[in-house]
Structure 1
Amino acid sequence: MYKKNDNIKLPEDPDTIVWKYLDLSKFLDLLMSRKLFMSRSDKFEDQYEGTFSEPTYEEIKKLSENNPEFLDYYKSHREKVVVSSWHINEYESFAMWQIFTQNNEGLAIQSTIGRLQKALKPEINYSQFIGEVNYIDYKKEYIPFDDMFFPFMFKRKSFQYEREVRIISDLSENAIKINDGIKIDVDVNQLIEKIYIHPKSENWYKKLVIELVSKLDYTIEIEKSDLESDILI
């Protein structure tokens, strides 16, 4: 269930468009299981994920001089936080296609902030929050740590192109087993407003995706990427 956290900021307009770029297998897993995969935060490619900037770390070190468990807790906490990443953009992103899909057979899910909020279903043991990532200079800027989600809502400026919004949960109080991540229940029809097919995919691939979505009893609109429209000259 989506909950509001006043410390976690979001675009005010619920119609703000967000995207998720993924391969066919992950897309089908979402449709068939009706569950959204959330990755363990320490499994992301960015090794700084969930860590602190230098000014914050120096402060935490001072606080942990007489309480070493304080620092150890922050280190292990990354294994208990799970994240689903989305990209804010009014339009498709050529860069996102390049980074997150392979072999010209990827897909992009188009949604909105409002749809993400409504798509999350109540969870018995934990809550999901949605927040926009802040991009800062980790050598100079301070990350507050009065909220356990704070280090997970900041990334280095070199990742600004991601324009990330993330669904995030803290499972540290739960006995849920987390390997690479967990799957959460979602309303798929609410989550997905439109599906875009990879701009360099063949026509047979688009037909395959349409057929698969139809056989799974979804009525989601499917389009070929706008990036490969016919040239007008």
Structure 2
Amino acid sequence: MYLNNPNIKLPDDPDTIVWKYLDLSKFLDLLLSKKLFMSRSDKFEDQYEGTFSEPTYEEIKKLAVDNPEFLNYYKIHREKVAISSWHINEYESFAMWQIFTKNNEGLAIQSTIGRLQKAVRPENNFDQYIGEVNYIDYKKEYIPFDDLFFPFLFKRKSFQYEREVRILTDTSKSEIKLNDGLKINVDINQLIEKIYIHPKSENWYKKLVIELVERLDFGFEIEKSDLESDILI
């Protein structure tokens, strides 16, 4: 089930705006399945995902001298944790459009921290948390390891532009084997506050998205990104 963890931090304001940038196929999958896809933590492009910083690793190695399984446990745990990433920003991000969409097509889901918390449905045998990512120097700074979720809430400083909030699902208590990831139950109407269409998309693309959403009986507000609004001079 979704749990509160005093060690995992979030912005104080539940109305803090978050975004998810994705292509149309992933958006349709979300609407049709009413489930949110989460990637297995060790399948991300960043090879450091779910690992420890150097100072923490050195400490864990010392503890693992008499207990080799201690270190191995953390490696295996990466295969048990799935992540859904969201971007904190009051406004749309031009950089996020560039990174996560292609061919001038794609969408951005606008939500809030509070909506994410309400949207996540309880899952039997899964521990689920929502937390804000900390960006640190992996050569110098320490990641606590007294909480199994901490490695997944730290990233290198070079990723600070992501300003990431994560939904985390730990499947360790179940027999489920994750391949690329898993889908979790969500309340779609809570999850999605508004949809923005790619700023450089054609009009037919916006009409297509509107029609698809209407046919699936969702009532989201849909807007064309205002990053390409008319010049006033």
Q: After the TM superposition, which of the residue ranges 151-160 and 173-182 deviates more from structure 2?
A: 173-182
Partner of residue 19, structure 2 = 19
Partner of residue 3, structure 1 = 3
C-alpha contact 2:126 2:172 (8 A) present in aligned 1: no
Superposition pairs of residues 80-99 of structure 1, within 5 angstroms: 80-99=80-99
Q: Measure, in 2, the Cα distance between the counterparts of 1:2 and 1:112.
A: 17
Q: What displacement does 1:101 show? A: 0.4
C-alpha contact 2:80 2:177 (8 A) present in aligned 1: no
Using the size of structure 2 for normalisation, the TM-score is 0.99
Partner of residue 228, structure 1 = 228
Q: Measure, in 2, the Cα distance between the counterparts of 1:180 and 1:14.
A: 30
C-alpha contact 2:2 2:123 (8 A) present in aligned 1: no
Q: Measure, in 2, the Cα distance between the counterparts of 1:138 and 1:127.
A: 27
| Alpha-carbon displacement from aligned partner over 1:74-112 (angstroms, at most 9, x marks no partner) | 111100000000000000000000000011111000000
Partner of residue 130, structure 1 = 130
Does residue 1:121 correspond to 2:121, yes or no? yes
Partner of residue 191, structure 2 = 191
Superposition pairs of residues 161-172 of structure 1, within 5 angstroms: 161-172=161-172
Partner of residue 39, structure 2 = 39
Q: What displacement does 1:178 show? A: 1.0
Unaligned stretches of 5+ in structure 2? Answer: none
Partner of residue 78, structure 2 = 78
Does residue 1:182 correspond to 2:182, yes or no? yes
Which amino acid in 2 is paired with 1:187?
D
Q: Measure, in 2, the Cα distance between the counterparts of 1:220 and 1:31.
A: 11
Q: After the TM superposition, which of the residue ranges 96-105 and 118-127 deviates more from structure 2?
A: 118-127
C-alpha contact 1:132 1:153 (8 A) present in aligned 2: yes
**SS class of match (1:232):** coil
Does residue 1:108 correspond to 2:108, yes or no? yes
Number of paired residues?
Answer: 233
Q: What percent of counterpart residues are identical?
A: 84
C-alpha contact 1:2 1:118 (8 A) present in aligned 2: no
Using the size of structure 1 for normalisation, the TM-score is 0.99
Pairwise CA RMSD: 0.6
Q: Measure, in 2, the Cα distance between the counterparts of 1:15 and 1:127.
A: 24
Q: Measure, in 2, the Cα distance between the counterparts of 1:59 and 1:79.
A: 22
Q: After the TM superposition, which of the residue ranges 169-178 and 208-217 deviates more from structure 2?
A: 169-178
C-alpha contact 2:55 2:139 (8 A) present in aligned 1: yes
C-alpha contact 1:126 1:169 (8 A) present in aligned 2: yes
| Alpha-carbon displacement from aligned partner over 1:123-162 (angstroms, at most 9, x marks no partner) | 1121310000000000000000000001110000000000
**SS class of match (1:25):** helix
Partner of residue 143, structure 1 = 143
Q: After the TM superposition, which of the residue ranges 34-43 and 124-133 deviates more from structure 2?
A: 124-133
Q: Measure, in 2, the Cα distance between the counterparts of 1:32 and 1:188.
A: 10
Q: Measure, in 2, the Cα distance between the counterparts of 1:29 and 1:112.
A: 21
Which amino acid in 1 is paired with 2:67?
N
Q: What displacement does 1:177 show? A: 2.6
C-alpha contact 2:119 2:190 (8 A) present in aligned 1: yes
**SS class of match (2:20):** strand
Q: Measure, in 2, the Cα distance between the counterparts of 1:226 and 1:97.
A: 12
